[in-house]
Amino acid sequence: MRRRDLLIATLLAPLAAGTTRVVRAQTLRTVSLGLISPTAAMWPTFVGQELDVYKRYGLDPNFIFVGSVANCAQQLVAGGLDLGEVSSTQVIEATQGGGALRYVLEETDNPKYTFLAQKQYKKYADLKGKLVIIGGVNDITVIFTRKMFASGGLKFEDVDFTYAGGTADRYAALKSGSVAAAILAPPFSFRAASEGYTVLGTLSDVMPSFPFVGWAATDAYTRAHPDVVIAFIKAQLRATRWLTDPANRTKVIDILVKRSNASPDDAAKSYTEFVTGKSFSANGQTTPKTFATVLDALAQLKVLTPPLPPPTNFFDNRFVDRATAELAREPKA
């Protein structure tokens, strides 16, 4: 009997071990992720949700719309979020304020904003003395607005401002008639143009590539959960690669229609702007040279005073480097 029991136990041991491995593989790690507004800039995340790539890397994401990059940065610093979508300028402001917030993944480095106005306004100069809506007092849209206004001979100080952190909210303000003009991102910019609002100008007309939006986390979180950060970056990079593959164009457009309530035509135009226009970072890395342009822009706004801090204070490429190396060893499918 003892020999038989020993034999059975020997035969069942691999099965038991295999069962244990399956259970462990199915245990997902929860991660809270802050989002701003359902625009085309969020396309990699939309793709990640649709393809369920987060589960592939053992994550159970909890996506939370927080309304503005300022709110997102505040919640990251306070520990209410694990990782969040934050503009380059907001990372600087949060870190300068003692938040130790850094980019771990650059996602969009070629913003696609358009200024749209009520139909009676035909050029930037017509906005003098009017109420215009942008992202925030020191928001990255201030930099863009100054550039766009200057191209049309309008001074920033000649306009009254109100603020809303997300493009969807700014579009709603334009629709309500409460503002004369709004700075909007796709697909809302295309929707407003199709509704007859005046296109005053686009950011790409006046400004070259500029670090725009990325995923940020505090130093405390990345130290405590490096495995979660790397897993998340792998999911985002895989989603971005699928998104930018021309073979997936039709599905990619359908995903934006579903996730942002865009029309198929506006989603197709957004594809041309963001995907064909190479707005999404191919490798997720931030470089000192490109980030220095953000510091310089904030210095011009007198948000920062020289001597400026080194760009490397505001990003950490170690996690994206590790994620990229691990992805290279994975099957492409």
Picking from 205, 232, 252, the residue at the C-terminal end of a domain is 205
Q: Are residues 64 and 136 in the same domain?
A: no
- pLDDT attached to residue 265: 97
Mean pLDDT of the 195-207 span: 94
Calculate the average pLDDT of the chain.
90
Instruction: Give 315-330 pLDDT, tens digit per residue.
Output: 999 999 999 999 999 9
Picking from 158, 176, 205, the residue at the C-terminal end of a domain is 205
Q: What is the pTM of this model?
A: 0.85
Mean pLDDT of the 234-255 span: 97
Whether 21 shows a pLDDT value over 80: the answer reads: no
Cross-strand bridge partners of residue 84: 34, 216
**Structural domain containing residue 32:** 25-110+210-328
Q: Are residues 139 and 268 in the same domain?
A: no
Asked whether residue 94 is assigned to any structural domain, the reply reads yes
Query: Looking at per-residue confidence, does 209 or 70 come out higher?
Result: 70
Distance CA 29, CA 227 (A): 10
Return the amino acid letter for 78: A
- pLDDT attached to residue 210: 85
Whether 302 shows a pLDDT value over 90: the answer reads: no
Whether 37 shows a pLDDT value over 80: the answer reads: yes
Query: Looking at per-residue confidence, does 301 or 269 come out higher?
Result: 269
Name which of 60, 39, 73, 90 is nearest 228 in CA terms.
Answer: 60
Which position has the token pair 């038989």? 4
Whether 26 shows a pLDDT value over 70: the answer reads: no
Asked whether residue 77 is assigned to any structural domain, the reply reads yes
Asked whether residue 133 is assigned to any structural domain, the reply reads yes
Instruction: Give 66-102 pLDDT, tens digit per residue.
Output: 988 999 999 999 999 999 999 999 999 999 888 889 9
- pLDDT attached to residue 11: 40
Q: How far is CA 156 from the centre of its chain?
A: 26
Categorize the per-residue pLDDT at 333 as very low, low, confident or very high, splitting at 50, 70 and 90: low
Cross-strand bridge partners of residue 112: none
Q: Are residues 215 and 91 in the same domain?
A: yes
Mean pLDDT of the 245-272 span: 97
Categorize the per-residue pLDDT at 303 as very low, low, confident or very high, splitting at 50, 70 and 90: confident
Q: Are residues 87 and 214 in the same domain?
A: yes
Categorize the per-residue pLDDT at 17 as very low, low, confident or very high, splitting at 50, 70 and 90: very low
- Render the burial of 89-110: b for 16+ CB within 10 Å, e for the rest: bbbbbbbeeebebbbbbbbbbb
Asked whether residue 164 is assigned to any structural domain, the reply reads yes
Whether 5 shows a pLDDT value over 70: the answer reads: no
Q: Are residues 176 and 71 in the same domain?
A: no
Q: Are residues 71 and 170 in the same domain?
A: no
- Asked if residue 283 lies in contact with residue 324, where contact means CB atoms within 8 angstroms, the answer is yes
- Report the domain count for the chain: 2
Q: Are residues 103 and 226 in the same domain?
A: yes
Q: Are residues 218 and 118 in the same domain?
A: no
Categorize the per-residue pLDDT at 14 as very low, low, confident or very high, splitting at 50, 70 and 90: very low
Q: Are residues 92 and 222 in the same domain?
A: yes
Percent of the chain residues topping a pLDDT of 90: 80
Picking from 187, 205, 223, the residue at the C-terminal end of a domain is 205
Name which of 239, 242, 237 is nearest 327 in CA terms.
Answer: 237
Q: Are residues 218 and 323 in the same domain?
A: yes
Asked whether residue 4 is assigned to any structural domain, the reply reads no
Asked whether residue 18 is assigned to any structural domain, the reply reads no
Distance CA 63, CA 248 (A): 24
- Asked if residue 320 lies in contact with residue 236, where contact means CB atoms within 8 angstroms, the answer is no
User: Which residues have CB under 8 Å from 165's CB, separation 6+?
Assistant: 36, 37, 67, 68, 69, 70, 71, 135, 136, 139
Asked whether residue 6 is assigned to any structural domain, the reply reads no
Q: Are residues 40 and 127 in the same domain?
A: no
Categorize the per-residue pLDDT at 2 as very low, low, confident or very high, splitting at 50, 70 and 90: very low
- Tell me, what CATH number does 195's domain have? 3.40.190.10
Asked whether residue 333 is assigned to any structural domain, the reply reads no
Query: Looking at per-residue confidence, does 208 or 304 come out higher?
Result: 304
Instruction: Give 123-173 pLDDT, tens digit per residue.
Output: 999 999 999 999 998 889 999 999 999 999 999 999 999 999 889 999 999
Query: Looking at per-residue confidence, does 236 or 97 come out higher?
Result: 236
Percent of the chain residues topping a pLDDT of 70: 92
Q: Are residues 226 and 97 in the same domain?
A: yes
- pLDDT attached to residue 251: 98
